[in-house]
Amino acid sequence: MSPIRLAIVGLGKIARDQHIPAIAQTEGISLAAVASRNAAQPGIAHYATLDALLASGEPIDAVALCTPPQVRRAQAQMALEAGKHVLLEKPPGATVSELAPLVAAAQASGKTLFATWHSRFAPAVEPARAFLAEHAPRSVTIEWKEDVRVWHPGQEWIWEAGGLGVFDPAINALSILTRILPRPVFVTGAHLAFPANRDAPVAAEVDLADADGLPIRAELDFLQTGPQTWDIHVETDGGRLTLASGGAKLFHDDAPLIDGNEAEYAGIYRHFVHLIQQGASDVDLAPLALVADAFLIGRRSLVEPFEY
């Protein structure tokens, strides 16, 4: 079977840092084109827009949408209607409701739609899930605190409506949480701090629970300088489990269980190839639905303006 010919749409930081190296090391898929207004990749066919790429007749089988979430829905619909498989960076869209028509379009066209959650491919995630299937969780604390100026330098879209602000990184924690816990969770309260000049929050506290009353607390900050924190602590009836460094490391009562090499995007592309081969889609909206609920139910406060 010849490799899946993939086009990257939106050649920004995440595409260069993660997608291109992962595609290069994944069997069954190869980079065939790039659609990006401001950037190109040496030796790869280049188009300014997805529109232009699709109109060109360039032979591609699939697209990876690495554009900001606010523009992804229209691109995904266009690609599916043109008979292409679609991989969506996280979050899968600017809203939860815009995904249902895309799922229907993928079904109608017989193509794969894959809403990726890269953190779910971190090395500690599946071992943590297995542990929590055996040892009941008693409480969960999420600490997701990073410096937006380091990790999202100059990214204005993240502060615009639909850009999620601090929830852009924190949705990674929620994607892990919803994978490792044995039961579905829901938001019970939230507090969101909006910079006075921005439409997305810079910090938040979110309380969640499951139907058994498991207490879950998430503390999120986008202005953390010094050491960066992407940790999930779970107290269980079998001791304390900690996923650290965004899921790269796993500790049980402070003893290291996993200290893995980060290879999230290689996992994503292996799964994408597998989904296409199976004629299947994979769209889990739970993490984005939790964020929408935090906005819905959250108290708001205004804090000082943010500028890069």
Q: Could you tell me if 218 and 144 are in contact, meaning their C-beta atoms sit under 8 angstroms apart?
A: yes
Residue 228: Cβ-neighbour burial (10 angstroms; 0-12, 13-18, 19+): middle
**Close Cβ partners of 245 (under 8 Å, ≥ 6 residues apart):** 230, 231
Whether 111 sits among the annotated catalytic residues: the reply is no
Distance (Å, rounded) from C-alpha 283 to C-alpha 22?
A: 21
List residues near its own copies by CB under 8 A: 73, 77, 94-98, 100-101, 104-105, 161-162, 183-190, 194, 199, 210-211, 286, 289-293, 295-300, 302
Rounded to 5°, angle at Cα 120 from 300 and 199: 25
- Give me the phi and psi of 295, to 5 degrees please: -65, -40
* Least distance (Å) between residue 105 CB and its own copies: 7
CB of 296 to its own copies, least distance (A): 4
CB of 289 to its own copies, least distance (A): 5
Q: Which of 90, 111, 145, 249 is catalytic?
A: 90
Is 151 or 186 the residue whose CB approaches its own copies more closely?
Answer: 186
- For its own copies, the closer of residues 7 and 294 by Cβ is 294
C-alpha–C-alpha distance, residues 172 and 246, integer Å: 8
Residue with Cβ nearer its own copies (24 or 136): 136
Q: CB-wise, 62 or 290, nearer to its own copies?
A: 290
Is-contact 68 157, C-beta < 8 A?
yes
* Residues belonging to the active site: 90
